[in-house]
């Protein structure tokens, strides 16, 4: 015969009554004990089973890194625009930003890489604005969309006159940076604009000319205030970024380039000479 100890009899009674019966028999609160056990399990789960939450400090470091890169790129655009690639220096860019030379080279190890990043930086801002316009003006005709896109480019150059000077410095000579920019940055923009120009010409809303010629005419017109702003100030006391000057000038550009569209008249087909 198997003897059963008092402890075993207690255990069997506990199993028969259930866990709650055992706790009540010994004067304990079952719900409270379960609550404490749950808290211990949750703590263990926090330690073993869950990923730690992202630390606010890490996010702050990332945000500072993004802000630092943006400040470096903006200063680099100004430096390259004022001096050209050869005369520009990373130390001078550091002086413009108040950052140490090693911090700049940490983000951009060479001057060539910094120039390319600066070029991508400015054209990215333009593409973002164009993409926003495309969503907002999806029902516009080709010529109306062109007008809005060139207007956005014009307003960007007024706000950041260094942009055109930055590109013009590289256009003065045949160099690897200009070829890289043409293939990497300019080609996608032209693939977007030239078909729209051709479509507007097919609708007889723009003169028949090589689309690339019309495009560079518009580029020259968008750059006028940023290029001649200092001279205008000396000769006429006109401030190139004054809102009234900006508005008057662009109204003139639209009248010249898109006037026939504005009065809803189509350009007649050209006759061969």
Q: What is the DSSP string of 194-239?
A: HHHHHHHHHTTSS-SS-HHHHHHHHHHHHHHHHHHHHHHHHHH---
- 40-65 as b/e: b if 16+ CB within 10 A: eeeeeeeeeeeeeeeeeeeeeeeeee
- Tell whether 57 is covered by a domain: no
Mean pLDDT across the stretch 116-138? Answer: 87
What are the start-end ranges of the E strands in 110-266?
A: none
Q: Which among 165, 171, 158 is positioned nearest to 77, based on CA atoms?
A: 165
SS3 238: coil
CATH of the domain at 156: 1.10.357.10
CB 80 within 8 A of CB 118: yes
pLDDT category of residue 60 using cuts at 50, 70 and 90: confident
| pLDDT tens digit sequence for 195-239 | 999 999 999 999 999 999 999 999 999 999 999 999 999 999 999
- Tell whether 134 is covered by a domain: yes
The number of distinct structural domains making up the chain is: 1
Work out the number of other CB atoms within 10 angstroms of the CB of residue 85: 17
Q: Which domain holds residue 219?
A: 117-262
- Residue 165 pLDDT exceeds 50: yes
- Tell whether 74 is covered by a domain: no
pLDDT category of residue 13 using cuts at 50, 70 and 90: very low
pLDDT category of residue 80 using cuts at 50, 70 and 90: very high
For residues 201 and 231, what is the distance between their CA atoms, to the nearest angstrom? Answer: 35
- Tell whether 182 is covered by a domain: yes
- Tell whether 168 is covered by a domain: yes
- Tell whether 268 is covered by a domain: no
| DSSP state, residue 108 | -
Residue 104, C-beta contacts closer than 8 angstroms, at least 6 positions apart: 72, 90, 93, 94, 97, 114
- Tell whether 160 is covered by a domain: yes
Question: Structure pTM?
Answer: 0.70
- Tell whether 100 is covered by a domain: no
pLDDT of residue 52: 56
Burial class (CB in 10 A: 0-12, 13-18, 19+), 69: middle
pLDDT category of residue 58 using cuts at 50, 70 and 90: confident
pLDDT of residue 65: 83
- Residue 18 pLDDT exceeds 80: no
- Residue 42 pLDDT exceeds 80: no
Residue 25, C-beta contacts closer than 8 angstroms, at least 6 positions apart: 13, 14, 17
Output the average pLDDT for the chain. 80
């Amino acid at each position: 015969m198997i003897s059963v100890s008092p402890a075993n009899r207690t255990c069997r009674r506990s199993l028969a009554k259930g866990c709650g019966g055992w706790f009540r028999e010994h004067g304990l609160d079952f719900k409270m004990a379960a609550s404490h056990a749950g808290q211990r399990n949750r703590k263990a789960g926090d330690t073993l089973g869950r990923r730690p939450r992202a630390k606010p400090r890490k996010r702050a470091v990332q945000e500072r890194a993004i802000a630092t890169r943006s400040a470096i790129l903006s200063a680099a655009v100004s430096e390259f625009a004022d001096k050209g690639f050869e005369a520009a220096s990373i130390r001078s860019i550091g002086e413009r930003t108040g950052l140490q030379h090693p911090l700049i080279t940490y983000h951009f190890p060479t001057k060539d890489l910094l120039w390319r990043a600066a070029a991508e930086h400015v054209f990215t801002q333009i593409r973002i604005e164009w993409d926003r316009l495309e969503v907002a003006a999806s029902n516009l005709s080709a010529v109306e969309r062109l007008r809005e896109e060139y207007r956005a480019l014009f307003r960007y150059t007024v706000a950041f006159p260094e942009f055109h000077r930055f590109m013009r410095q590289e256009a003065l000579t045949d160099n690897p940076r200009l070829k890289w920019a043409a293939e990497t940055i300019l080609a996608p923009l032209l693939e977007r604009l030239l078909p729209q120009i051709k479509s507007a010409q097919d609708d007889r809303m723009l003169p028949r000319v090589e689309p690339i010629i019309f495009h560079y005419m518009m580029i020259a017109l968008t750059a006028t205030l940023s290029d001649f702003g200092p001279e205008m100030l000396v000769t006429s006391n006109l401030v190139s970024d004054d809102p009234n000057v900006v508005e008057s000038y662009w109204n003139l550009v639209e009248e010249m380039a898109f006037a026939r569209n504005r009065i809803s008249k189509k350009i007649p087909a050209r006759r061969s000479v």
